[in-house]
Structure 1
Amino acid sequence: MIVRILGEGQLTLQQDHLDELNKLDNELLAAVRDGEDAKFRAAMDALLARVRELGEPMPVEEIKPSDFILPSADSSLDEVRDLLSSDGLIPG
């Protein structure tokens, strides 16, 4: 699957990492719902760090449709709240 981190580019991820990433996404969703900025920042940083760690960067010149898009690392709690669905940022 392909994920885009806004402002950084696209990465390919193996499907078997989805459960782990969904757990981190659920923590982020809870932090946004609670409106706790410190908890939000920690959850956001953890999710992005894990995606970067597990993902393989795609060449810049190769652009493909993304399976999901994550906000940039400097996004605010309110900006992320506007992007969230009831499932969070990661479908599934």
Structure 2
Amino acid sequence: MTDLQGSILALIQSLLERSDKADITVALDTPIHGDGLGLDSLETAELSAMLEDEFGTDPFGEGLMPETVAEIVAFYSSAGESGASVPA
């Protein structure tokens, strides 16, 4: 696991703990909504804000609608590859 992946997984786990969903296991293939993390629209907005606070941008704010944790990681991985600075 990369530092970036670990940072994103820890951030999501923190959100789940505050939402009384600490028993949910977070993995790269975990869906963000439904039977995965089960985030509602308010929790998704909170995740978006947390990602932006941590990394300076977020996939939701860029008009993307990631369906899995891996898609969030891929967003930041591709930003790093394109030369944009993404703190880990």
TM-score by length of 1: 0.31
Q: TM-score, normalised by structure 2?
A: 0.32
Which protein has the bigger strand share?
Answer: 1
